[in-house]
């Protein structure tokens, strides 16, 4: 079975602090993809990153960085120097190459990040 | 802007009623997914269509149905509505390289 666990339900930080959102996944697929999405208070789901299972290189995009470790089945997301606009719910998601639902994403429960000024 | 259009954005209705949510995928995308986001269940996959045909089914109730039309827009029909159906319903279209692009969602409130 495929599963995504985001153990942190809510995190609150003060602006300019660094914050890491944890994501642990389970899958039997050898090829799979991991994603992070952001859901601001307005409700839409905004795509942040996709990583495939063969690429364990960490990625940095501005203040955002992602740490993918297959050995621990984790795909953690760090925001450096957080800002109030980063306040949102962040979802980690998994997609495998499995059966007829190749595009289906399995989402974690999300982590609500509040960044206070 | 993801290019995926969902209507209506908000909908309030009563128990027992039926509603239809509409989704227009991005130009050129053939596949449409429907997801339900509720407070207790999180984001759950309901159903997928590809070029007019049902491709995969998730946790979709029998009271719910969907279809994809020749112009590739999709509709999600929810009937005999219950309080617990109140949720945010997302549509996503899938690009040729497999990415899912989500619409802004339709917020359904059942009173």
Mean pLDDT of B13-33: 96
Which pLDDT score is estimated for B32? 95
3-state SS, chain A, equals CCEEECCCCEEEEECCCCEEECCEEECCCCCEEEEEEEECCCCCCEEEEEEECCCCCCEEECCEEEEEEHHHCEEEEEECCCCHHHCEEEEEEEEECCCCCCCCCEECCCEEEEEEC
Question: Which of residues A104 and B26 earns the better pLDDT score?
Answer: B26
Test mutation, B26, B98, B107, chain A, max A CBs within 10 A: B98
pLDDT level of residue B96 (50, 70, 90 thresholds)? confident
Which pLDDT score is estimated for A30? 86
CA–CA dist A62, B71 (Å, integer): 39
Mean pLDDT of B98-102: 86
Which pLDDT score is estimated for A100? 46
pLDDT over 70 (residue A99)? no
A32 interfacial to chain B (CB closer than 8 Å): no
CB contact under 8 A, A47 and B99: yes
Measured between beta carbons, the chain B residues lying within 8 angstroms of A96 are none
Which pLDDT score is estimated for A42? 87
Burial of B71 (0-12, 13-18, 19+ CB in 10 A): exposed
| Runs of H (alpha helix) within A66-107 | none
Test mutation, A9, A104, A107, chain B, max B CBs within 10 A: A104
| Token digits of residue B109 | 């409130």
pLDDT over 80 (residue B21)? yes
On whether the CB atoms of residues B100 and A105 are closer than 8 A, the answer is yes
Q: Which of these ranges, A86-90, B11-15, B95-99, has the smallest mean pLDDT?
A: B95-99
Which pLDDT score is estimated for A98? 53
| Token digits of residue A101 | 């639902």
pLDDT over 80 (residue A101)? no
CB contact under 8 A, B43 and A107: yes
pLDDT level of residue B41 (50, 70, 90 thresholds)? confident
pLDDT, tens only, A49-94: 989 888 888 888 899 999 999 999 999 999 999 999 999 999 999 9
Terminal C-alpha separation, chain B: 31
Mean pLDDT of B78-82: 97
Which pLDDT score is estimated for A97? 65
Q: How many CB atoms lie within 10 A of CB A83?
A: 12
pLDDT, tens only, A10-51: 999 999 999 999 999 999 888 899 999 999 998 889 989 989
CA–CA dist A107, B10 (Å, integer): 23
Which pLDDT score is estimated for A31? 87
Mean pLDDT of A90-114: 82
Which pLDDT score is estimated for B97? 77
């Amino acid at each position: 079975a495929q599963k995504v666990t985001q153990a942190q339900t809510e995190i609150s930080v003060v602006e300019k602090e660094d914050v890491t959102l944890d994501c642990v996944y389970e899958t039997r697929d050898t090829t799979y993809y991991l994603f992070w999405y952001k859901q601001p208070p307005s409700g839409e789901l905004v795509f942040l990153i996709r990583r495939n299972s063969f690429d364990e290189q960490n990625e940095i995009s501005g203040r955002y960085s992602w740490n993918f470790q297959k050995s621990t089945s984790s795909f953690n997301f760090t925001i450096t120097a957080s800002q109030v606009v980063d306040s949102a719910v962040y979802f980690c998601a998994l997609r495998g190459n499995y059966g007829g639902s190749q595009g289906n994403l399995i989402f974690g429960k999300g982590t609500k990040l509040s960044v206070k000024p | 802007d993801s290019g995926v259009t969902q209507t209506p954005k908000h909908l309030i209705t009563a128990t027992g009623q039926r509603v239809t949510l509409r989704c227009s995928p991005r130009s050129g995308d053939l596949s449409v997914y429907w997801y339900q986001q509720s407070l207790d269940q999180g984001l759950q996959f309901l159903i997928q269509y590809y070029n007019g045909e049902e491709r995969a089914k998730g946790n979709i109730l029998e009271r719910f149905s969907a279809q994809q039309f020749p112009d590739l827009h999709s509709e999600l029909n929810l009937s005999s509505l219950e309080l617990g159906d109140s949720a945010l319903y997302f549509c996503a279209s899938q690009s040729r390289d497999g990415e899912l692009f989500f619409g802004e969602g339709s917020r359904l409130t059942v009173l």
